[in-house]
Structure formats: C-alpha cells, structure tokens
Amino acid sequence: LEAAIYALPSNVPDEEVHSLPLFQEQMVMAVHVAHRLANQSVVRVKDMSNESYIHRNNCEFAGYADAILAEQGVTVSPVYWSDRDDWTLAMIAAGLG
C-alpha cells in the first residue's frame, strides 16, 4: 500500500506514516425546524448539553465527537440508533431528537 485516504480525524502522530490533510470540514448537526437551536447561525458545543441525540451507528466521527463533548462536560441522551441515514433524518424531522 502506497497511499490511503483516511476519514477519521486524528492528532496522534504515527512515526511509521507520513500524513497531510486534504481538506477541513465543519461539523454540522441536524435539528427539527422548531428546535430551539434551529435558527442559530452558530451552535456552541455547550449549547447541546442535555439534548436528545439520534445516533448513526456507522458515523465516521462518533468517537471524535464523543471526546469533544466529554472535554466540555456536555452530555446528550441517545434516544434512537440506526444504520440508515434516512431513518435518523426521519426521526429528527419528527422532532424526536
């Protein structure tokens, strides 16, 4: 293997691998249109504390996001898990998380 594209963010250096970022991407969240955070242009991590959370089972950034939440003392309550993006979006559209 001479090259790989790795989707998980990591700040841990690996002496056996030379790496460079290809791009930076903002983290976004989806909420129901009537949710208290729906019309905010910016949402701080602390603003998410005590919210109900819909979890994508195969989310590439779950471990990364969990560390950020824990670092800032934020807890969320998982209320639904799914392997399918369309189901998680349907739960959000229904106002369940």
Express each pLDDT in 27-50 by its tens digit.
Answer: 788 999 999 999 998 999 999 999
What's the rounded Cα separation, in Å, for the pair 46 and 2?
41
Express each pLDDT in 40-89 by its tens digit.
Answer: 989 999 999 999 989 888 887 777 788 889 999 999 988 999 999 899 99
Higher pLDDT, 58 or 92: 92
Q: Is residue 4 scored above 70 in pLDDT?
A: yes
So what's the pLDDT on residue 8? 63
Please tell me the pTM assigned to this model. Answer: 0.68
Classify domain 27-97 by CATH architecture. 3-Layer(aba) Sandwich (3.40)
Domain boundaries, given as residue ranges, for the chain: 27-97
